[in-house]
Amino acid sequence: MPYLFNTDMVMTTNNQRKKMINLNKDFEYIYYFEEDGILRGVPTSDGVKLNKDQKIDIKKAIKENGYKFYTIGDDADMPKNYGYYYSNDGTGKSTMDFEPLDFAMADAGDAWLFYYENNKWSQL
């Protein structure tokens, strides 16, 4: 089952206790674009706050367990906007439910979404 961390309290190197983030339990979906690196998504509860190290680890977990995608506009000369997406299907496996990206695509002026699976790009 792909997960980032367990949700137990753990001791860090400076002897402070902190709650670890679990992608499957703490987010409905989460993604980021490579260009800006900003994590976007919907937490399952209010108050999920992430520190810098957790953000780095979450991006790594999304990249390893989710889907690589890119969006592009109607014009062939428009740049591709690459990113990574993770959405839990209840079994701990990422789904291809890219509906939340529709809003991000509209904001960027992009019209098409492609995802990478089984060593090939497919249009959603």
pLDDT of 82 over the 60 cut = yes
Closest to 25 measured CA to CA, from 50, 54, 4: 4
| pLDDT single digits (tens) 22-50 | 787 888 888 999 999 999 888 877 767 78
C-alpha to C-alpha distance for 13 and 103, rounded to whole angstroms: 40
pLDDT of 10 over the 50 cut = no
C-alpha to C-alpha distance for 18 and 7, rounded to whole angstroms: 10
Closest to 124 measured CA to CA, from 97, 103, 100, 105: 97
Q: Token pair for residue 97?
A: 């439910």
Closest to 114 measured CA to CA, from 86, 82, 89: 82
The pTM is what? 0.74
* Beta carbons within 10 angstroms of residue 79's beta carbon: 12
Q: Which amino acid is at 31?
A: Y
Task: Say if residues 58 and 21 touch (Cβ distance below 8 Å).
Answer: yes
